Amino acid sequence: MSAQVLSEQSSAVRAFVALVRSHAAVTRRLSVELTNDHGLTINDYEVLLRLARAPDRRMRRVDLAGEVLLTPSGITRLLDGLERAGFVERGTCESDRRVVYAVLTDAGLAKVREASATHVAQIDELFAARLDSRELARIADLMERLGDAAADDDCRPPE
């Protein structure tokens, strides 16, 4: 391991460490609130939110997995729990029986609406109360650039 990585001297390493630490702290804080107040994990909430925003409140399971950065087995486990809770149900595609949809139920929509109030309040407390609108816009721009670059790298063939 290089001395530069160990000492965190480079600007890139310092930025990476700050990003990882901030992400972990914010995610932990949001997760605790969602779990304590609504019985949802952050991943549960993210899946319910994606489905609530999707046309007809439904998405192909494989597309949903990609959206929330879970493996196919990870999304299956998560959706199984949400299905047992009555928040999601399975849907099929009439033209291709191999395609399975995750469909948000009315109970799931009610749950994500309820949890959104907590989630938005926490985001306001963690971000809007500490950073001005210019700083928030700059952070969003930078994170989108990093995310886009990482996603582009995922699509490159191995060298």
Strand order from edge to edge, sheet including 88-92 = 58-60, 100-104, 88-92
Looking up residue 122, the CATH number of its domain turns out to be 1.10.10.10
Predicted pLDDT at 5:
55
Domain count, the chain: 1
The verdict on residue 28 lying in a domain is: yes
Q: Considering the domain boundaries, does residue 4 fall inside one?
A: no
Q: Is residue 3 part of a domain?
A: no
Supply the pLDDT for residue 151: 74
Spatial contact of 113 and 106, defined as CB atoms under 8 Å apart: no
> Considering the domain boundaries, does residue 136 fall inside one?
no
Identify whether 14 is part of a domain: no
> What angle in degrees, to the nearest 10, is found between the helix axes of 106-123 and 11-38?
130
Burial class (CB in 10 A: 0-12, 13-18, 19+), 84: exposed
5 lies in some domain: no
pLDDT (tens place) for every residue of the chain, 159 residues total: 555 555 657 888 888 889 999 999 999 999 999 999 999 999 999 999 999 999 999 999 999 999 998 998 999 999 999 999 999 999 988 888 788 999 999 999 999 999 999 999 999 999 999 999 999 999 999 999 988 888 765 544 444
Cα-Cα-Cα-Cα dihedral of 55, 115, 27, 49, to 10°? Answer: 0
Strands (E), 33-82: 58-60
pLDDT at 78: 96
Find the domain containing 103 and state its range.
19-131
81 belongs to a structural domain: yes
Structural domain includes residue 152: no
Pairing of strands 100-104, 58-60: antiparallel
